[in-house]
């Protein structure tokens, strides 16, 4: 199955796409109305608008540096996953999305990096908890968020994973405990983005790593924008060999052209005998 990830409402009904993800809330903090013919996608803790309007809600490292998009390791700002009032707003947004279309995708789930978060909320929350291990407390915040959000989703709950399948890496980086989280997730989506896809051995390596690691279905999201068509089709073939589904991001025209090429190749590869044979 092939689908699209888009901000453009007109692309949601294109015949080539078996599934469409629509950015209801993106990392800028902008959000719009949910779409009934899409899986509405919500950037959970990625939120540049909060960095501007209420920076005290951002995750901070041990030196007090806030998780803003100008940090070397970050592309956008991240809210601390222990901020209760922010999570309540997210739950309301999930509930609104699910009332319009039953399936919801949670994006930018977890902490922004291994060095986060050491804000007062996290420090006191850990100190007052029953957890003896900092990493375990941290992971529990993420699992609790996804569990609560999923309770508002009557259909399929999708969660985006940072593309690192190596043992322990997601746990340390983002606070994602796959064994605990998978009880609340129906399907993971792994973005494997490249502007060229000139080689695909790395894509196959990461995809096969997730295939071995996950007990829950996972799909792969490829970047479609400005990618050469032959390379995009090659990347889709590799992704399709390992993942349940393949989604193309942020260029509906390139995505639909790639899907048509793949469909045509599949039809050309079939052999049919004469009637009665």
> pLDDT (tens digit, 9 = 90+) per residue, 216-250?
999 999 999 999 999 999 999 999 999 999 999 99
| Residue 250: domain span | 2-47+80-107+144-167+180-268
Estimate to the nearest angstrom the gap between the alpha carbon of 218 and the chain centroid: 11
Residue 276 reports pLDDT greater than 80: no
Does any domain span residue 275? Answer: no
In this structure, what CATH number is given to the domain that contains residue 102? 3.20.20.80
CA distance 47 to 68: 9
CA distance 87 to 78: 13
- For the chain, the C-alpha Rg in angstroms (whole number) is 20
Rounded to 10°, the helix 120-127/134-150 angle is: 100
Number of domains the chain is built from: 1
Does any domain span residue 215? Answer: yes
pLDDT, tens digit, 9 for 90 and up, residues 14-39:
999 999 999 999 999 999 999 999 99
CA distance 157 to 149: 9
Residue 205 reports pLDDT greater than 60: yes
User: Residue 131 — left, alpha, or beta (φ > 0 → left; ψ -120 to 50 → alpha)?
Assistant: beta
Does any domain span residue 240? Answer: yes
In sign, the C-alpha dihedral spanning 169, 111, 143, 49 is: negative
CA distance 209 to 213: 6
Residue 272 reports pLDDT greater than 50: no
Does any domain span residue 277? Answer: no
Does any domain span residue 89? Answer: yes
Residue 219 belongs to what H/E stretch?
strand 217-223
CA distance 105 to 160: 7
pLDDT, averaged across the chain: 95
Smallest Cα–Cα separation from 41: which of 27, 51, 52, 53? 27
12-26: string of b/e by CB count within 10 Å (b at 16+)?
bebebbebbbbbbbb
What are the C-alpha distances in Å from 94 to residues 101, 126, 145, 236, 249?
Answer: 10, 27, 12, 30, 22
Does any domain span residue 160? Answer: yes
Average pLDDT over residues 46-54: 97
Say what the pLDDT of residue 84 is.
97
Say what the pLDDT of residue 142 is.
98
What are the C-alpha distances in Å from 79 to residues 22, 55, 56, 106, 119?
Answer: 22, 8, 9, 14, 11
Say what the pLDDT of residue 269 is.
53
% of residues, the chain, pLDDT over 70: 96
Does any domain span residue 115? Answer: no
Q: Is residue 120 within 8 Å of 56, Cβ to Cβ?
A: no
Say what the pLDDT of residue 277 is.
46
pLDDT, tens digit, 9 for 90 and up, residues 63-84:
999 999 999 889 999 999 999 9
Say what the pLDDT of residue 2 is.
97
- HSE toward the beta carbon, residue 114, CA cutoff 13 A: 6
CA distance 176 to 111: 8
Average pLDDT over residues 5-19: 97
Residue 263 reports pLDDT greater than 70: yes
Say what the pLDDT of residue 267 is.
67
CA distance 142 to 120: 17
Compute φ and ψ for 190, nearest 5 degrees.
-110, 110
Residue 209 reports pLDDT greater than 70: yes
Does any domain span residue 214? Answer: yes
Residue 166 reports pLDDT greater than 60: yes
Say what the pLDDT of residue 72 is.
87
In sign, the C-alpha dihedral spanning 250, 251, 254, 255 is: positive
Q: Is residue 21 within 8 Å of 41, Cβ to Cβ?
A: yes
């Amino acid at each position: 199955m092939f689908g699209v990830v888009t901000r453009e409402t007109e692309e949601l009904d294109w015949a080539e796409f078996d599934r469409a993800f629509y950015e209801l809330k993106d990392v800028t903090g902008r959000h719009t109305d949910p779409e009934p013919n899409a899986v509405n996608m919500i950037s959970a803790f990625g939120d540049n608008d909060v960095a501007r309007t209420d920076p005290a809600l951002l995750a901070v490292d041990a030196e007090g540096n806030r998780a803003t998009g100008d940090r070397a390791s970050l592309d956008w700002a991240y809210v601390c996953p222990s901020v209760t009032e922010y999570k309540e707003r997210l739950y309301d947004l999930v509930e609104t999305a699910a009332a319009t279309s039953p399936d919801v995708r949670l994006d930018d789930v977890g902490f922004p990096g291994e060095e986060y978060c050491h804000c007062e909320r996290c420090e006191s929350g850990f100190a007052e908890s029953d957890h003896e291990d900092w990493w375990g407390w941290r992971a529990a915040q993420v699992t609790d968020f996804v569990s609560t959000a999923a309770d508002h989703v009557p259909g399929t709950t999708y969660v985006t994973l940072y593309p690192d399948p190596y043992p322990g890496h997601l746990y340390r980086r983002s606070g994602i405990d796959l064994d605990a989280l998978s009880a609340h997730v129906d399907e993971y989506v792994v973005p494997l983005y490249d502007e060229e896809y000139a080689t695909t051995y790395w894509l196959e390596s990461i995809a096969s790593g997730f295939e071995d690691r996950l007990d829950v279905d996972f799909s792969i999201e490829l970047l479609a924008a400005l990618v050469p068509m032959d390379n995009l089709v090659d990347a889709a073939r590799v992704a399709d060999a390992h993942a349940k589904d393949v989604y193309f991001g942020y260029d509906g025209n390139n995505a639909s052209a790639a899907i048509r090429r793949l469909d045509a190749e599949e039809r050309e590869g079939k052999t049919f005998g004469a009637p009665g044979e």
